[in-house]
Amino acid sequence: MSNIKLRKVDVIFSPYSVAPYEILKNAMKRSKDEVVQELIDSGLRGRGGAGFPTGLKWKFAKQQESDQKYVICNADEGEPGTFKDRKLLVEVPRKVISGMAICAWAVGASKGYIYLRREYRYLVSHIEEELELYHKFAKEAGLDFKIEIFMGAGAYICGEETALIESMEGRRGEPRNKPPFPIKNGYLGKPTVVNNVETFASATMVCRMGADEYKKLGTDDQRGSKLFSISGDSPKKGVHELELGMSLEDFANEFGDGDTKAVQVGGVAGFCIPKKQFKTTIIGEGNTTGGSTMIFNSTRSMYNVLHNYLDFFAEESCGQCTPCRVGTQQLLKGIEAVKSKKKPPEYLDQLVKLAETMRLTSKCGLGQSVTNSFSSIVKNFREEMIY
Amino acid sequence: MAEQVKLNIDGVDVQVEKGQSILDAAKKVNIRIPTLCHHEDLCVAGNCRVCVVEQEGKNTLTPSCATPAEEGMVIKTSTPKVRRARKDLMALLVSEHNTQCTTCYRSTNCELQDLAAEYNVDNNIYLSVLKENLEIDKSSWSIEKDDSKCIRCQRCVRTCAELQHVNALAVTERGRDMRISTFMHLPMNEIVCTNCGQCITHCPTGALTERRYYDEIWEAIDDPEKHVVINTAPSVRVALGEMLGFPVGTRVTGKMVTALKKMGFDSVLDTDFSADLTIIEEANELLVRLKDALVHKKDVALPMITSCSPGWVKFIEHMYPEHLAHLSSCKSPQQMFGALTKTYYAEKKGIDPSKIVSVAGMPCAAKKYEANRPEMRDSGYHDVDAGLTTREIGHMIKQSGINFLELEDSEFDSIMGESTGAGVIFGATGGVMEAALRTAYFVITGRPVPFDNLNITPVRGLKGIKETSIKFENCLPEYSFLEGVEAKFAIAHGLINARQIMDQIVAGESPYHFIEIMACPGGCIGGGGQPIPTNDEIRKKRIQAIYDEDMNKPIRMSHENPEIIKIYEDFLEKPLGEKSHHLLHTKYRKRKRY
Amino acid sequence: MAEVKELVKELVDKYGRERKNLLPVLQGIHLETNYLSKEAMLEVAKQMDLSAAEIYGTASFYSFLDTKADGKYKIRVCKSITCEMAGKSEIIRTLEDMLKVKVGETTEGKRFSLLETNCLGLCDQGPAMLINEEFYTQLTPAKVRKILGEYIRNKY
């Protein structure tokens, strides 16, 4: 484990320093393989949460033989505590769109979509304005890649890439069995790259800075910079861009209110880290990198926090697979029963085992990750669950 | 040969075709992996998760039904981790389930119950999350829907979509509220449902069952005033044994008749009789249509399509209301039987028809609805008072305490108990076509149909759409208009195949003269009222039993049935005659498509 | 129901009859009519050649597609943890007092529906709520009274 001092940087939100779509234009002067290699070399990983190496995803997509490929920007930001994508789309939509276009050009896609969560409908005209500029540029540059906005309709699970694709195909947003992965068999059965808003913006910056420069940021395990959505008991709520690799202790010192008891890293699908582990926890290492960080001070009841999460999961689970549909309900009812003394404290251990079954057997990331927050809260704040 | 992949399951090397699942591969080496949402007839869902296995190199478990086998995979199907997970999943399903198994119709024939017992699931380990105030939907004549027993495997949804292309059932809502329901949660009798009952035979639990009428039947049997008559369809006798200790594919005709008599039915008759009658009427109807088209150049609806399958009839009424003229006007054998029971039978036996209770023992759920169609009262009474499924008959036999395995055989009663091999094969897909051709060819040419042993093999088998053609040569003078005509025939089973046939007709591109359509895959032997489970392996065995029964019959053409000859002499006078029209034919109604 | 028929036709012509256009079509109807009526869904089924059950199944999956007629103004208060920490309960109480309905209910005359919703993506500015397409952040009871007062006075 290596960690570095907390450092605020200004990569993704750096002001536009070049003419519109200059980065895309420059990328298109190089060979496609070279650009994909640049992405691989940069060490950039998906910024949505799962952390798959972006360059590799593009490389696989490029290798697919198909008459049609798609590039989809996942702007279904629904993880509680996350709002960075909103800020990106408001402030630097061009970087997002450039990233999509570079990807499309490199992998050979001619059609792109921004899957925008329903709650962000008010951003449509703003994004469309930028898309108009982009399409004008694409026409001039002879780039055959058109982008449309696809509106979500209100479902957290559609942030899961195969659920998102189902939703775009006019169905219930239920995750698919994998394999096959979207890269082979995605939207309308065609190879499809789905990346998060921040991933595309970061890809643009990798092309702008070059892999060598980009990977100077961060540690060996995590390259580059990352946006953190900071909320909860913090005097500095908002989106902050930080170099990856800092310890949670530094983070809490910088952003907490001096009374921080725990930090939820990676949204409700991530881990709840108690104060005693701040020193040894590197944000993004072994936990998810979506960038949601919710800070809780000593006045907060961790039972209420967990109850809120579980209610969220039980509602936002798509409901198709047994462990997630029933498991989320059981965990919620279970902690209520322990709290109200209808079940003994030891029942919590049974529930931790259940959460592990959910991790092992759920169809998608939602059910698989419930155990992260559940077990970390139950183990670290057991008394609060009981009394 | 398709590309092969090699993998290792529980230490055994196995080679399968690329694209086959881990579950398929395990089956090949005799390793049983439990499943719930999986069904051989349907596409993969992968949502119950009980088929999970350990895959080397993965830190989560792998659903074996939904994961293609890959070269070099190392799979373990029964490790402590796998067993614990499965037991936990079973416990979760049970916690969401109405566990009053003792009063459930599917008790002892329930996949959830079997697995819960196998894994010795502790019912108290988790709190119950069964939704409160769930009401059983009993609105339909045919199907009961009890959401408290639903495990959300979506087999019914996939059945309704993939086999039947009706899509009456869908997954609705999300998360903890997710359920299997209908458009706007409307009751089953208000939606576009064909009542085929395939959802029932594909349901692993008691969530979908047929509406049961056996209590009423018992009451009628016990009433000394009532004369209770039952006729049983050909498919019942080749499947009933499955519920009563016989291997799949055993013919139990004689034992069934004995059992029904012992139970107290006053008369046990054979639906095959009216199947033979259907053939006479339908073949003549077809010949009239052909003559009208070829000789009188009239604009008649061709191809003509069979109307024996009430699921199919309701399907076309909903989906193709503009094309009902293609349907034969013949009632189904069940309804012909009912109409004759309260007229011809009553007259011959000297029984007051108002005292007759006519019961139909059917492999079918839709027959219950059909019996209750308001137009089915041509005898002046309710032609068929109640339809029972094969399953209900099996239950009634059990309720009577009869030792079915040891029962002696007996013959159907008379009258309307005599049948031919042609009537028997109605039960299998292609059977009506074969029976019709055996008679039609004879009527037209005076010679038996030119197939070895009368077995028209091209119309047999489980292919979704089958076709054949027959050229008429040396016709009798009356049918000289068919001389040299090559008539084309098609057979479809499963409503998704029916849709293809109909779309061809709608487009004006149908090359056929006569088409047989059955709502259920495999025909009646795979009907919605048949013992559970049903899959292709079972369908094939039941079909074989049907053809064996045919071969064993001394008479194998409908028009040679002596009782048929007699009923025309004594009662109906002639095919398509006035009495026939009144009692044996019907009209159809347009229904809403959505 | 000629109007619904026209509306659906317009939308189906615009987006296309293929299944993949179902969400845009449903959302188009929703924007015009504030919910998806039974008639509208049946019309979509007819025009897009889909089963009505599947359309209902799809619509009922998404929280922004309503299949029953709710209030003209839908108030969605964010119930995610950070908004809860920032005082969501007080906001709900204020709204319940003013509207005389509970969460999940609609006022008489179908003017307002009071709903809770999952994360609105405004966690740094909670408590937050959405009234139809308008966002309101950093809410306090006083602020809510002012905002809602304006709706009641001006936008009825």
| Residues B276-291: tens digit of each pLDDT | 999 999 999 999 999 9
With bands split at pLDDT 50, 70 and 90, how would you rate the model's confidence at A288? low
Best A119, A227, A309 member to test C by mutation, with max C CBs in 10 Å, is A119
With bands split at pLDDT 50, 70 and 90, how would you rate the model's confidence at A287? low
Average pLDDT, whole number, for chain A? 95
Set of chain A residues whose Cβ sits within 8 Å of the Cβ of C77:
none
How many beta-carbon contacts under 8 Å exist across A and C? 117
| Alpha-carbon distances, residue A49 vs A228, A326, A369 (angstroms) | 12, 24, 11
With bands split at pLDDT 50, 70 and 90, how would you rate the model's confidence at C45? very high
* B494 and B466, same domain (yes or no): yes
Bigger pLDDT: A15 vs C16: C16
Rg (CA), chain A: 21
Residue B63 lies in a domain: yes
Q: What is the pLDDT of residue A291?
A: 86
Please answer whether residues B138 and B144 qualify as being in contact, where contact means their C-beta atoms are separated by less than 8 angstroms.
yes
> What is the number of other CB atoms lying within 10 angstroms of the CB of residue A215?
18
CATH code of residue B306: 3.40.950.10
List of residues 6+ apart from B7 with CB closer than 8 A: B13, B14, B16, B22, B25, B69, B70, B71, B72, B73, B74, B75
With bands split at pLDDT 50, 70 and 90, how would you rate the model's confidence at B298? very high
CA angle in degrees (0–180, nearest 5) for B128-B133-B138:
120
Task: Determine the distance from the C-alpha atom of residue A69 to the mean position of all C-alpha atoms in its chain, rounded to a whole number.
Answer: 23
CATH code of residue B59: 3.10.20.740
With bands split at pLDDT 50, 70 and 90, how would you rate the model's confidence at B142? very high
Among the partner residues C22, C124, C135, nearest to A231 by beta-carbon distance: C124
> Interface partners of C (3+ CB pairs, < 8 Å)?
A, B
Cβ of residue B132 closer than 8 Å to a chain A Cβ:
no
Q: What is the pLDDT of residue A50?
A: 81
Buried/exposed A169-182: b ≥16 CB within 10 Å, e otherwise: bbbbbbbbbbeebb
Residue B136 lies in a domain: yes
List the structure tokens of B50.
Answer: 């009980």
Q: What is the pLDDT of residue A323?
A: 98
| Per-residue pLDDT reduced to its tens digit, A12-65 | 998 888 889 999 999 999 999 999 999 999 999 999 888 899 999 999 999 999
* B350 and B443, same domain (yes or no): no
CATH code of residue B362: 3.40.50.1780
> What is the number of other CB atoms lying within 10 angstroms of the CB of residue B486?
11
* CA–CA distance, A250 with A258 (Å, rounded to integer): 12
Q: What is the mean pLDDT of residues A248-263?
A: 96
Concatenating the DSSP letter of every residue in C124-147 gives: GG-S-EEETTEEE-S--HHHHHHH
Residue B302 lies in a domain: yes
Average pLDDT, whole number, for chain C? 95
Residue B217 lies in a domain: no
Does the pLDDT of residue A2 top 80, yes or no?
A: no
* B363 and B377, same domain (yes or no): yes
Annotation says B370 is catalytic: yes
With bands split at pLDDT 50, 70 and 90, how would you rate the model's confidence at C1? low
Bridge-based pairing state of the strands A111-116 and A70-75 = parallel
Q: What is the pLDDT of residue B594?
A: 83
Please answer whether residues B416 and B269 qualify as being in contact, where contact means their C-beta atoms are separated by less than 8 angstroms.
yes
Q: What percent of chain A has pLDDT over 70?
A: 98
Query: Residues in chain C whose beta carbon is closer than 8 A to a beta carbon of chain B?
Result: 38, 41-42, 45-46, 50-57, 60-61, 67
* CA–CA distance, A151 with A159 (Å, rounded to integer): 12
* B254 and B315, same domain (yes or no): no
Please answer whether residues B33 and B77 qualify as being in contact, where contact means their C-beta atoms are separated by less than 8 angstroms.
yes
| Per-residue pLDDT reduced to its tens digit, B471-487 | 999 999 999 999 999 99
* B38 and B171, same domain (yes or no): no
What strands, in cross-sheet order, belong to the sheet with B12-17? B12-17, B4-9, B74-76, B52-55, B62-63
* B15 and B151, same domain (yes or no): no
Residue B99 lies in a domain: no
Residue B428 lies in a domain: yes
CA angle in degrees (0–180, nearest 5) for A312-A318-A319:
100
Annotation says B160 is catalytic: no
Does the pLDDT of residue C153 top 90, yes or no?
A: no
Does the pLDDT of residue B169 top 60, yes or no?
A: yes
Q: What is the mean pLDDT of residues C11-34?
A: 97
With bands split at pLDDT 50, 70 and 90, how would you rate the model's confidence at C2? confident
Average pLDDT, whole number, for chain B? 97
CATH code of residue B145: 3.30.70.20
Does the pLDDT of residue C156 top 60, yes or no?
A: no
The residues that bridge with A74 in the sheet, in sequence order, are: A115, A196
| Alpha-carbon distances, residue C137 vs A305, B39, C95, C140 (angstroms) | 21, 51, 15, 9
Query: DSSP 3-state assignment of A11?
Result: coil
How many domains, chain B? 4
Q: What is the mean pLDDT of residues B345-350?
A: 97
Residue range(s) in chain C whose domain bears CATH number 3.40.30.10? 73-154
Instruction: Pick the range with the lowest mean pLDDT from A135-139, A360-364, B116-120, C1-5.
Output: C1-5
Best A111, A231, A259, A305 member to test C by mutation, with max C CBs in 10 Å, is A231
CATH superfamily, domain C73-154, is Glutaredoxin (3.40.30.10)
Does the pLDDT of residue A1 top 60, yes or no?
A: no
| Alpha-carbon distances, residue A302 vs A264, B13, B357 (angstroms) | 11, 50, 68
Would you call B126 and A323 a contact, using CB atoms and an 8 Å cutoff? no
* B324 and B341, same domain (yes or no): no
Choose one of B406, B436, B465: the last residue of a domain.
Answer: B406
Which residue segment(s) compose the domain that B359 sits in? 223-273+334-406
Q: What is the pLDDT of residue A5?
A: 86
* B375 and B466, same domain (yes or no): no
| Per-residue pLDDT reduced to its tens digit, B504-559 | 999 999 999 999 999 999 999 999 999 999 999 999 999 999 999 999 999 999 99
* B205 and B353, same domain (yes or no): no
Give chain C's length. Answer: 156
Choose one of B30, B63, B78: the last residue of a domain.
Answer: B78
**Where in B19-76 does DSSP place strands (E)?**
52-55, 62-63, 74-76
Among the partner residues B46, B60, B151, nearest to A360 by beta-carbon distance: B60
Does the pLDDT of residue A193 top 90, yes or no?
A: yes
Set of chain A residues whose Cβ sits within 8 Å of the Cβ of B84:
357
* B62 and B140, same domain (yes or no): no
| Per-residue pLDDT reduced to its tens digit, B186-226 | 999 999 999 999 999 999 999 999 999 999 999 999 999 99
Domains and CATH numbers, chain A: 22-214 (3.40.50.11540), 302-386 (1.20.1440.230)
Q: What is the pLDDT of residue C134?
A: 92
**Cβ neighbourhood burial of A356 (10 Å; 0-12, 13-18, 19+):** middle
Best C50, C56, C65 member to test B by mutation, with max B CBs in 10 Å, is C56
List the structure tokens of B515.
Answer: 């088409």
Q: What is the pLDDT of residue A286?
A: 67
Among the partner residues C21, C79, C81, nearest to A170 by beta-carbon distance: C21
List the structure tokens of B82.
Answer: 């796998």
Set of chain A residues whose Cβ sits within 8 Å of the Cβ of B60:
359-361, 368
Residue B590 lies in a domain: no
Minimal Cα–Cα distance from B156 to chain A, Å? 14
* CA–CA distance, A262 with A249 (Å, rounded to integer): 11
